[in-house]
Every structure is written in C-alpha cells, then in structure tokens.
C-alpha cells in the first residue's frame, strides 16, 4: 500500500510466545499517515499552470460528482480528476483532459471554487502546445484557422442560406449601411442544414417584426469560444481580433447572436481584446417583442426545453427562452427533472462538439443521448432548444436511442416561424 | 526531328498498361506529325518486353545490369540519351511514379518544353495542343506547344486496346549510356503488392472514403456500411496520408486500381489521381456536400447529402431486420 | 547536414477557383491560397529528420503575397530558419522556380532538398526533377519515407498497385515527397503568432532568369459537363432509400 511509508512501520521487535513467533508491530499504533510524502509532482505540474491553480483546492467532498453530466455516462468529475492527478496520473496525456464539456455545473456546487472553466482551457493549452490533440479536434482547429469555421466549409458559402430565407437579409459586406441590429449568425446556423432552417426562420421573424438588421456575410468568422475552451487560446485570440476588426467597420446599435457560445465570448471574452458590444442572445432580444407578433395559428405540441449551458449557468439567462415558449400560442410546456441551474449538458461545449468519437470511447453513451432519454421521459413530443449545436446533436441522439417518431427537436425560432405562417 | 518516342514502363517482366495507352496516343500523333512511333525500353533484360511492343515501328532496346530494378537516375540517363540520339518531335511519358520522376527531368536535361497532366493530345501543324487537368480536376488547361516537347499523360486518356499492334516492330539495340557506370543512387529492395491481408483490387463492391470523412474516428461509419453491403473499404490518398486507413486500401495513382461492380465514393472530391484508380468501376455513386466536386462528373449517381446522416441511413436499410 | 525544404502556396480548392477575364489563368486576386499539401508533408519529413538526426533545416519559398505566412508557419513547426527568394519574374511555375532556386540552394551549401512531389498547378512539370536536373543531383519522386545514413539518404518510393522500393541516394539530392511517415503536426496559433512577432525571415535574390516555357496556355476552363451524375435529392433517409433501391435493382446487394 503506497499510503503507508514503510520505514515508519517498525516491525523488527522479536517476540516468541508459547513457541510461536509473533514478531512485529502487533501491539502498537501506526503512526499517522504522512500523505505529503507522496510524489505529488503530477498535481504540482497541473496547478503550476496559470489558470489551473484551483484544481489543488479540491478537498474531495464529492459534491461535484453527482452534478457532473459526464459522470452520469462514465467515470468523471473534478473530484476524480483531482484524485487521479494527486496520485500521479498525468492529466496532460490522459483522456480525462478532453472529457469535460465546461458545462459549469460542478463550479455551481463546489465549496472550494475548483473552476474547471479555467482549469480545462489552461491545461489543454499546454497539451495543444505539445501537439497532443485528439485528431478530430485538431481538424476543427485547422479548419477554423483556414476557413473561419470548424467544419472546413468555404468562407464564401457562409451566407448561402440567405438565398432561400424567403425574407430580405442585408449582407453588410456587399452593401455597408448602418443597421439597428447586427446579427452574428455563427457557424452552425450558417452551414449546418438544420441550422440554416433556423436561420431562415429567424430572418422571416425579423421581417415580420420590421427590424432593421444585417449580417456580416462571408466576412464573419467563428467566435471561437469553444476553440478557446478546448485549449486553442491563440486561435481564439487571432480570430477574435479579426472579428473585432470586421465589426469595427460597420455601424450597428446592438449585436444579437443565436449561439450561446458566441454570446458568452462577446460578453465575457471579447471586451478584454477591445471588442465591447451591447450583445444579446436572440431569445433575450426577441422575448420582449413576442407580444407584437401576429400569430396565425396555435401549435398543439407538448414541449420540453433544454437549457444551453453557456446561456444558463454561464450567463444566468433562464427566463428569455421560457418566455418565448410561453408566448407561442398553443404549446403545452413541461420542465425536465434537470433544468435551469441544474440543467444537463448536451455534450457539445468546451470542444465536445468536435470530440464525439473520442468521448464515445470513454463513455457509455453520449450526453446528448442521455438528455434525449430524459426528454422522452417527460412525455413531451418535442424537445425545444436555442443553441445551434443542439438541433444536430439531439436529432442524432433521437435516432441513436431509437426514439424516432417519439421526439422531435426544434429550435424555438422554428416554432415561432411555424406559428406565424 | 520527327516521330513520337514513347517511354515504356515495366516491372522487368510485363509492360505496364499505361505504355500501351501511350503507344496508341503516339500512333495518332505520328499520323499528323509524320515519322515513326518509337518505343524506348530500358531494362536488365528487354527480352520478355519486346514482344509486347508490336504497336511501335522501332523498339529502342537498352540493356544493362545497371537497369535492373527501376531507378529514376538510371532511367532518366537512358531517356535523355535516346531523346538526343533520336530527336523525336514528341516524347510521351505516363503520369505515373516513373512519369513524375522522368518527364520533367528529361525535358530539363534536353532543353525541351514539358506539359504535365495531359488527358488529350492532338497535332496542329507542327505544334501539339494538349488538354491538362489542373486544380484537382476542377479546371482544364489547353496548351499549344511547339515541338519537340515532352508530355506526361494521365492514365485512362487513350484506348489501351489500340496500343498493342500496328507498328513495324523493328528492334534497335542501343549501347547503354556511359553514365550508368557512375550512378549516385541504388535500388536496395522492392516490396510487391498484397503484403497486407486486404486486396481491394478484386473486390466486387468498394466503399471508398475521402477527406470528407473528417477524421479517423469517423471511418467506423463507412466500415459499418461496407460490412452491411459486403464491400471492401477503400480510401483516397489524403485519408491514407493522414494515417486514417492503411496504404493497402488506397485507390488511385499511387495506390490500387480497382474495377468493382459498385464504387461508392464517400466524401471524395475526385482528383484526377483518384479517378485514375477507379475509372473502370461499374456503377459509381458519389456522396459529397460540394455539388461542384469533380467526382460527380464520373459518377452515375450523386448526392450532396451530409455523409454523417446518409451513411447510417443506408446501413440501417441494408441490415437485416431485427 | 543541411536540409532545405521548398514550400509553395497553391489555390485552396475548398474555396472557389475562378478563371480570369482572359480565360487563360486563374483569377489570382480572388484565390485563397494555402500551403501545397505535399509540401506540408515534405516539411513534416524535414522536421522529423531534424529531430532524428540533428540536421539543420531551412525552409525556402519564392517571395509572393502570403508566402511570409507559410514561412512563419514553417518556423513554428520547427525549421531553423526560413528564406524568401526574390525573383525578377512574377512566374511561379516549376521551371521558373527551379531556375531561381538552383543558384540559391547551391550557394547555401545544402545536402538535401525536400519538396512536395507535385502541386495542383504543375502544368509545366514538377519542381523536384527539374531542380535536381539543373543542379546535376540525383532525384527521387513519390517518396514516402526518408532516413539519413552518413552521406546517403535511404528513401521509400511508391508505385501504383501498392508496390514500393527502397532506394539509396548519394547526397546532395532532391526528393519529391508524397507523404511523411506521420501526418503533419499541429502548430498552436499562439506559437505561430509568437514566431510572427519575433522571427526574422531571411531573404535571397535569385540571379537566374526564368527560362522560356515553349508552351502557351490558350484556354483555362471548367471541364465539359458531359454526362454528369444524376443527382439524388431529398432528406438523407429518402436519398438512402433511393440508393438502396438502385443497388437492389442491379443485384449489387441482396434484395
């Protein structure tokens, strides 16, 4: 047992009793365990990384373990990461380094403020610098550098969705003019087929509301918040500076984005790089305007809602999406057991969006699959979301869990659009 | 200065198929430009090869122990010497590994122009007009080149069947160039095909994955489909270079040539080097989100559906129920 | 041991490549450039040789818009220094590049030159054999592995059909690299930016003029449409059904 320092256990006394040799420290107390005599250099290496200091604060209370969404599908939590590192595991080369989705639920319950939102990006940055990046994540980084989006889609096609929007969309790079709202579309609404559905629904809704708005078009690049959380701070800073320079060329009153990750970076990260904006998530922007919408029909759906980690826990917004859902006529709303502050994670944050195969090898099921099962349990026929990562993740999980036909996945804006037509 | 010189490739025992294509092309050009079709064959022993070169009017044989095994330096010396001695109007080299070594090198050594990646050649007066595939097959460049000149020709551009007979077949044995005595490179050994357990060249169905698959971990999707279909898994060069699949599964110029009844191209753009390895496939179905990908020009059916949605959907349909 | 790795940028085919108004060249202003992928492998091979044998590696590229970025990236990847070569001609084709580089490389006293086996715009031949022939050095193309043994390089050359050969080449020599033994490594952008802020690129002027090509491009265009694929439309499930139906019709899978 490595917990016991052998030199401190004295068993050299000889004793023979009724012909039986019972030599040893049989009748004495062991000295107190001297845990500082472990080799804790593995932990020191991690806590020595600026940003990762708080991993060392862990006192193993275990509150984070039931809160950690990854532990529900595997064997993971900050407490476990700390313990493995304390006894010598090298976090930089361990799969543990890439399983955290930076959902933030552990920090909410941690009495010691062990902050995975800072630890993970900082330690991952070291791994990235050493070239130890899972291949699929590396590809996302390379694509972001080359094309401005993690999927490797051509930049010139970023605004292609506009053609079939069925409503006018001002592309500022083609004809600059001051607008009230600059809509930062982000990658998944720009390129993913289901994201494009939502982008078009948004465009039609904005037209109905008569709002003066525009998009950057091909000049827009990924906000890179998830790349930052996945350990590529340099990439984040470079692309963020490019976005800030691009945004600086246009006149607008406020920035609105459908992506909670982009919202998080514009709110909390870009200001440090000189990009300060009046930024809202699209639900925050639209919720107060819902009363003005000329509803055409009621939607007879029983729905439940999944809180995006980066809108809810990271930025404290739980009400705006619920307010939108409340105002869409006809919907019956039911909460999932895990919601709001304790909302479950879809698995896409912190780089998880580009690590599905990797995490698949270290977990029993995907977070999105577990979440879909939770949604089905509520009896809802529709899982409503407001993060661009989620439609594709959950639709995929609906299929892989055999729930096709039982559960539909829709962005809130798609429901708004449906009720308006 | 007349005639068309064909550089003949072989493994020492058989003439490579590309050489028959070149002989066919040479005959067409020689009819317009005048002169003979000449075949240059350089090997330790040209005996087994000469009989296959009936399409040539003259067969230039260069034999030397130094020509055992393919060595770029030695072959270039022989080719350069032949160009200097025969002064052909046109030199044809296949766009193969040997072609990549020799066409431009021999042209430079003899001061001739070189045009690469040719898929079509025709004479116009004393010039040669060539079509070359550039930019991964997305664009075709048409060039006019004054003769004499060297052209490297993409496999599959001319009919191999027209390159077996029709010449006079006169043999001219030429002394090996003196330079062969002072080579600065040597062949240490060769490994044949089929070192691995897989032989995709005989497969009736091939599911081939390209860069669009995104990463090694996604290969599984294609593997599952291949299993459901009873197909072998193939790959394009970038996938093999990235280490996502082993070399023995590579389809294309530096890999295998496959002739399956069904070729399902998944996330493959269709660069000429890839098409070369599968242009004789039966039914070709291509999946690529880029609707402009060159693979759609050779495919019978195509779709721009996302492969990540489509592959599992096909697999599910093919799997026995239950 | 001094290794030079020659880098070149080529149009990124993921982005659009348009033909200019003359119809004989690509519209170079609208093109998005990237490092030739084979050069990327040559660079990886060079860095691997540096790591295994302590060789000194210099990255070399013809000066052009955007080329500095390639050279900085090469430094970030691990080469010892990077040099841009200025030429009197704007041409970047392989004969022009070889003419410009041959003198510079000879002056540098390099033992081994690595470059990509080919590029998507090599209409006038590939760089490795042209450069080697100009220098009077042996060359091997389609190389997938290089190791150094004293004054010789041992290389693996690939042929179609999965055949391969091991060749031994006396140095100095030029190798056209098809693939490095491992995929090109990732360079964190922070390191790239650090390099861009601190590294100095060397430069050299080419003395030789670009040689005449003897060949003129009369037309550059998309290939004729011809009998393209019949496109299957619809949601993935619907397309999957169409594909399976096609396969069953033709007896390519069991009904």
Burial pattern C8-36, b for ≥16 Cβ within 10 A else e, equals: bbbbbbbbbbeeeeeebebeeeebbbbbb
Burial pattern C145-161, b for ≥16 Cβ within 10 A else e, equals: bbebeeebbebbbbbbb
CATH, domain range A290-420: 3.40.50
Is the CB of C188 less than 8 angstroms away from the CB of A138?
A: no
Residues of chain B contacting residue C182, judged by C-beta atoms under 8 Å apart: 243
Is the CB of C188 less than 8 angstroms away from the CB of A152?
A: no
Chain A contact present for C238, CB below 8 A = no
How close, in Å, is residue C198 to chain B by CA atoms? 31
Residues of chain C contacting residue A133, judged by C-beta atoms under 8 Å apart: 186
Chain A interface disruption, residue of C190, C197, C236, most A CBs within 10 A: C190
Tell me the pLDDT band of B319, cut-offs 50, 70 and 90. Answer: confident
Residues of chain A contacting residue C16, judged by C-beta atoms under 8 Å apart: 154, 156
Choosing among 3.40.190.10, 3.30.1490.20, 1.10.1060.10, 3.40.250.10, the CATH entry for A38-129 is: 1.10.1060.10
- What are the pLDDT digits (tens) for C208-236? 888 999 999 999 998 876 568 889 988 89
Do the domains A38-129 and A290-420 sit in the same CATH topology, yes or no? no
| Cβ proximity of A416 and A201 under 8 Å | yes
Residues of chain C contacting residue B141, judged by C-beta atoms under 8 Å apart: 123, 217, 219-220
| E runs forming strands in chain B | 4-7, 37-43, 58-63, 90-94, 114-124, 127-134, 139-146, 149-153, 170-174, 185-191, 205-209, 232-235, 262-266, 283-287, 301-303
Is the CB of C121 less than 8 angstroms away from the CB of B104?
A: no
Q: What is the CA radius of gyration of chain C?
A: 21
Q: Work out the mean pLDDT of chain A and round it to a whole number.
A: 92
| Per-residue model confidence (pLDDT) at position B156 | 83
Q: Look at residue B195 and tell me whether its pLDDT is greater than 60.
A: no
Give all domains of chain B, ordered by start, each with its CATH number.
Answer: 4-182 (3.40.50.620), 200-318 (3.40.50.1220)
* Cβ neighbourhood burial of A335 (10 Å; 0-12, 13-18, 19+): middle
Q: Provide the CATH topology of domain A147-287.
A: Rossmann fold (3.40.50)
- What are the pLDDT digits (tens) for B220-271? 999 999 999 889 999 998 898 888 888 889 998 778 888 899 999 999 998 8
Q: How far apart are CA C155 and CA C148, in angstroms?
A: 9
- Check residue B261 and report its DSSP letter: S
- Chain B: residue nearest A136 by CA? B215
- What are the pLDDT digits (tens) for A362-377? 999 999 999 999 999 9
Residues in C 9-68 with any Cβ partner in A closer than 8 A? 12, 14-16, 32, 34
Chain C contact present for B309, CB below 8 A = yes
Q: How far apart are CA B159 and CA C209, in angstroms?
A: 40
Of A147, A156, A234, the CB nearest to C188: A234
For chains A and C, count residue pairs whose Cβ atoms are closer than 8 Å: 46
| Per-residue model confidence (pLDDT) at position A404 | 86
ipTM of the prediction: 0.91
Q: Which of B276, B273, B270, B266 is nearest to B245 (CA)?
A: B266
Tell me the pLDDT band of B322, cut-offs 50, 70 and 90. Answer: very low
How close, in Å, is residue A8 to chain C by CA atoms? 46
How close, in Å, is residue A390 to chain B by CA atoms? 15
pTM: 0.85
Residues of chain B contacting residue C14, judged by C-beta atoms under 8 Å apart: 290
| Per-residue model confidence (pLDDT) at position B191 | 83
Q: Look at residue C137 and tell me whether its pLDDT is greater than 80.
A: yes
| Per-residue model confidence (pLDDT) at position B75 | 97
* C131, containing H or E segment: helix C127-135
SS (H, E, C) chain A: CCCCCHHHCCCCCCCEECCEECCCCCCCCCCCCCHHHCCCHHHHHHHCCCCCHHHHHCCCCCCHHHHCHHHHHCCCCHHHHHHHHHCCCCHHHCCHHHHCCCCCHHHHHCCCCCCHHHHHHHHHHHHHHCCCCCHHHHHHHHHHHHHCCCCCCCHHHCCHHHHHCCCCCEECCCCCCCEEEEECCCHHHHHCHHHHHHHHHHHHHHHHHCCCEEECHHHCCCCCHHHHHCCCHHHHHHHHHHHHHHHHCCCEEEEEECCHHHHHHHHHHHHHHCCCCCEEEHHHHHHHHHHHCCCCCCCCCEEEECCCCCCCCCCCCCHHHHHHHHHCCCCEECCCCCCHHHCCCCCCHHHHHHCHHHHHCCCCCCHHHHHHHHHHHCCCCEEEECCHHHHHHHHHHHHHCCCCCCCEEEEHHHHHHHHHC
Is the CB of A193 less than 8 angstroms away from the CB of B220?
A: no
- What are the pLDDT digits (tens) for B120-158? 999 999 999 999 999 988 899 999 999 999 999 998 889
| Per-residue model confidence (pLDDT) at position A105 | 97
Residues of chain A contacting residue B304, judged by C-beta atoms under 8 Å apart: none
| Per-residue model confidence (pLDDT) at position B243 | 84
Tell me the pLDDT band of A28, cut-offs 50, 70 and 90. Answer: low
| DSSP codes of every residue in B173-236 | EEPPPGGGGG-SEEEEEEE-S--SS--GGG-SEEEEE-GGG-SGGGHHHHHHHHHHHT-EEEE-
- Strand C173-177 and strand C112-116: the pairing is parallel
Q: Look at residue B103 and tell me whether its pLDDT is greater than 80.
A: yes
Q: How far apart are CA A284 and CA B314, in angstroms?
A: 41
- Chain B: residue nearest A157 by CA? B290
| Per-residue model confidence (pLDDT) at position B197 | 60
Residues in A 118-147 with any Cβ partner in C closer than 8 A? 125, 128-129, 131, 133, 138, 141-142, 145-147
Chain C contact present for A335, CB below 8 A = no
3-class DSSP assignment, residue C19:
strand
Q: How far apart are CA C59 and CA C46, in angstroms?
A: 9
The torsion angles phi and psi of A8, rounded to 5 degrees, stand at -90, -5
- What are the pLDDT digits (tens) for C160-188? 777 889 999 999 999 999 999 988 999 99
Angle at which helices C127-135 and B97-110 cross, to 10°: 40
Q: Which of B44, B99, B97 is nearest to B67 (CA)?
A: B44
Q: How far apart are CA B188 and CA B185, in angstroms?
A: 9
Give all domains of chain C, ordered by start, each with its CATH number.
Answer: 2-205 (3.40.50.620)
Q: Which of B34, B40, B72 is nearest to B56 (CA)?
A: B40
Tell me the pLDDT band of A179, cut-offs 50, 70 and 90. Answer: very high
- Check residue C78 and report its DSSP letter: T
β partners of residue C60: C6, C83
The torsion angles phi and psi of B119, rounded to 5 degrees, stand at -115, -10
Is the CB of B217 less than 8 angstroms away from the CB of A358?
A: yes
Is the CB of B217 less than 8 angstroms away from the CB of A193?
A: no
* C169, containing H or E segment: strand C164-170
Least reliable range by pLDDT among A24-33, B27-36, B52-61, C234-243: A24-33
- What are the pLDDT digits (tens) for B1-49? 589 999 999 988 899 999 999 999 999 999 999 999 999 999 999 999 9
Number of Cα atoms under 13 Å in the Cβ half of residue C242: 17
- What are the pLDDT digits (tens) for C11-26? 998 888 899 999 999 9
Q: What's the average model confidence in pLDDT over C112-141? A: 97
Backbone CA torsion sign across B171, B172, B173, B177:
negative
Tell me the pLDDT band of A1, cut-offs 50, 70 and 90. Answer: very low
| Per-residue model confidence (pLDDT) at position A9 | 53
Chain B residues touching chain A at CB-CB below 8 Å? 214-218, 220, 242, 306, 312
How close, in Å, is residue B170 to chain C by CA atoms? 30
Q: Look at residue A13 and tell me whether its pLDDT is greater than 80.
A: no
- Domain boundaries, given as residue ranges, for chain A: 38-129, 147-287, 290-420
Q: How far apart are CA B175 and CA B61, in angstroms?
A: 8
């Amino acid at each position: 047992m490595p917990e016991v320092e052998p030199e401190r256990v004295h068993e050299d006394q000889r004793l023979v009793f009724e012909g039986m040799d019972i030599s040893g420290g049989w009748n004495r107390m062991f000295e107190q365990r001297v845990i500082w005599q472990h080799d804790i250099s593995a932990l020191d290496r991690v806590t020595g990384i600026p940003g990762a200091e708080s991993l060392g604060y862990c006192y193993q209370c275990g509150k984070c373990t039931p809160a950690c969404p990854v532990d529900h599908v595997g064997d993971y939590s900050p407490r476990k990461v700390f313990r493995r590192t304390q006894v010598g595991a090298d976090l930089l080369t361990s799969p543990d380094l890439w399983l955290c989705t930076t959902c933030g639920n552990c920090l909410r319950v941690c009495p010691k403020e062990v902050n995975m939102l800072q630890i993970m990006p900082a330690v991952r940055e070291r791994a990235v610098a050493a070239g130890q990046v899972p291949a699929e994540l590396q590809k996302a980084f390379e694509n972001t550098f080359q094309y401005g989006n993690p999927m490797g889609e051509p930049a010139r096609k970023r605004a292609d969705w506009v053609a079939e929007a069925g409503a006018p969309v001002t592309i500022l790079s083609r004809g600059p003019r001051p607008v009230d709202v600059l809509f930062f579309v982000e990658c998944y609404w720009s390129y993913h087929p289901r994201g494009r559905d939502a982008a078009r629904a948004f465009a039609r809704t904005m037209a109905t509301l008569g709002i003066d708005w525009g998009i950057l078009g091909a000049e827009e690049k990924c906000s890179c918040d998830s790349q930052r959380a996945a350990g590529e701070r340099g990439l984040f800073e470079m692309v963020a500076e490019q976005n800030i320079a691009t945004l600086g060329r246009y006149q607008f009153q406020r920035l609105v984005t459908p992506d909670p990750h982009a919202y998080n970076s514009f709110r909390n990260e870009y200001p440090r790089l000189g990009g300060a904006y009046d930024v809202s998530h699209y639900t925050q922007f639209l919720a107060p305007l819902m009363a003005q919408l000329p509803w055409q029909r009621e939607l007879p759906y029983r729905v439940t809602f999944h809180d995006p980690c980066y809108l809810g826990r990271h930025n404290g917004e739980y009400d705006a999406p619920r307010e939108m859902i409340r105002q869409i006529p006809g919907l019956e709303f039911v909460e999932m057991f895990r919601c709001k502050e304790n909302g479950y994670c879809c698995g896409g944050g912190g780089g998880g969006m580009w690590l599905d195969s990797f995490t698949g090898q270290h977990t029993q099921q995907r977070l999105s699959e577990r979440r879909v099962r939770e949604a089905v349990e509520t009896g809802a026929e529709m899982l409503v979301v407001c993060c661009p990562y989620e439609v594709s993740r959950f639709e995929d999980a609906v299929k892989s869990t055999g729930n096709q036909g039982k559960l539909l996945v829709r962005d809130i804006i798609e429901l708004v659009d449906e009720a308006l037509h | 200065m007349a005639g068309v010189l064909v550089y003949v490739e072989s493994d020492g025992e058989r003439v490579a198929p590309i050489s028959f294509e070149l002989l066919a092309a040479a005959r067409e050009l020689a009819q317009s430009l005048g002169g003979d079709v000449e075949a240059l064959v350089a090997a330790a022993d040209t005996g087994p090869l000469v009989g296959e070169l009936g399409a040539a009017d003259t067969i230039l044989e260069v034999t030397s122990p130094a020509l055992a095994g393919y060595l770029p330096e030695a072959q270039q010396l022989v080719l350069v010497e032949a160009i200097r001695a025969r002064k052909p109007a046109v030199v044809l080299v296949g766009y193969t590994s040997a072609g990549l070594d020799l066409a431009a090198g021999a042209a430079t050594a003899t001061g001739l122009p070189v045009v690469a990646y040719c898929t079509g050649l025709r004479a116009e007066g004393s010039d040669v007009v060539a079509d070359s595939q550039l930019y991964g097959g997305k664009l075709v460049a048409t060039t006019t080149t004054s003769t004499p000149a060297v052209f490297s020709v993409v496999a599959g551009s001319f009919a191999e069947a027209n390159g077996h007979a029709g010449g006079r077949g006169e043999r001219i044995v030429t002394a090996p160039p003196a330079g062969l005595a002072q080579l600065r490179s040597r062949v240490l050994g060769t490994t044949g095909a089929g070192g691995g357990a897989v032989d995709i060249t005989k497969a009736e169905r091939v599911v081939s994955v390209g860069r669009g698959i995104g990463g090694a971990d996604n290969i599984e999707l294609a593997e599952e489909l291949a299993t459901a279909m009873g197909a072998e898994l193939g790959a394009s060069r970038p996938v093999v270079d990235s280490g996502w699949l082993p070399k023995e599964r590579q389809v294309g110029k530096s890999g295998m040539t496959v002739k399956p009844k069904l070729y399902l191209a998944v996330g493959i753009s269709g660069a000429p080097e890839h098409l070369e390895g599968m242009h004789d496939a039966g039914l070709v179905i291509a999946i690529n989100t880029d609707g402009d990908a060159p693979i759609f020009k050779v495919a019978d059916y195509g779709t721009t559906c996302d492969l990540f949605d489509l592959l599992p959907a096909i697999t599910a349909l093919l799997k026995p129920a239950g | 041991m001094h290794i030079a790795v020659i880098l070149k940028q080529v149009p990124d085919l993921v982005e659009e490549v348009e033909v200019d108004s003359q119809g004989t060249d690509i519209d170079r202003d609208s093109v998005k450039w990237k490092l030739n992928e084979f050069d990327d492998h040559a660079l990886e091979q060079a860095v691997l040789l540096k790591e295994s044998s302590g060789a000194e590696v210099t990255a070399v590229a013809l000066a052009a818009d955007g080329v500095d970025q390639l050279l900085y990236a090469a430094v970030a990847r691990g080469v010892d220094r990077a040099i841009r070569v200025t030429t009197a001609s704007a041409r970047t084709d392989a004969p022009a590049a070889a003419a410009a580089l041959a003198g510079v490389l000879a002056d540098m006293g390099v033992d081994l030159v690595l470059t990509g086996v080919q590029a998507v715009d090599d209409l006038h031949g590939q760089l490795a054999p042209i450069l080697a022939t100009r220098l009077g050095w042996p060359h091997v193309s389609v190389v997938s592995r290089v190791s150094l043994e004293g004054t010789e390089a041992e290389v693996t050359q690939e042929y179609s059909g999965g055949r391969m050969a091991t060749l031994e080449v006396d140095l100095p020599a030029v190798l056209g690299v098809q693939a490095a033994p491992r995929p090109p490594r990732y360079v964190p952008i922070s390191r790239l930016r650090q390099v861009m802020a601190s590294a100095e690129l060397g430069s050299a002027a080419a003395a030789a003029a670009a040689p005449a090509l003897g060949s003129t491009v009369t037309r550059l265009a998309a290939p004729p449409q011809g009998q393209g694929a019949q496109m299957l439309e619809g949601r993935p499930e619907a397309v999957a059904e169409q594909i399976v139906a096609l396969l069953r019709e033709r007896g390519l899978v069991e009904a």
